[in-house]
Amino acid sequence: ANTEFVNDWMTENKWFETDPDMTKTARGLLQAELIADNGNQSPKTQLPKVLEEMKRIYPDKFKAPENPNVNRGADVDKGSKAKPKAGKGLKRSDLSESEGLHFDQFVKSGIDEKKLLKTIQEQREVS
């Protein structure tokens, strides 16, 4: 299972092994995670931490692709997404692009999708 997770992670993070500076940084961060975990390899917890730190260090490398429709204009007012009605439940499609990226990472790391959506909905209702 770990080998499959690592292979998936490397497939999703094409910069690893193709960008020498980022690869060196990621390897250093992974080494730090291994030391912090007393040498125990746990890719499912360590690689998401490495990726999070890489996004902080190299924010320009992780920007969302330009939206070709940004300057097109629209006939409708841009507004925030309507909050889901109570009882309906939040769906993946209700999340913003940024929330969706984080959501996908959490789900890939093994977190239950329905529980995660419920937690996000509860957080929105509190704020």
pLDDT tens digits, residue range 13-34?
A: 999 989 999 999 999 999 999 9
Per-10-residue mean pLDDT for the chain, 127 residues long? 89 92 94 90 93 93 74 56 58 76 73 76 71
The answer to whether the beta carbons of residues 9 and 2 sit under 8 Å apart is: no
For residue 49, the model assigns a pLDDT of 94
For residue 22, the model assigns a pLDDT of 94
User: Whole-angstrom Cα distance, residue 121 to residue 100?
Assistant: 13
Q: What is the pTM of this model?
A: 0.50
Distances (CA, A) of 5 to 42, 45, 51, 109: 10, 11, 14, 8
For residue 70, the model assigns a pLDDT of 63
Q: Which two tokens stand for residue 113?
A: 């999708």
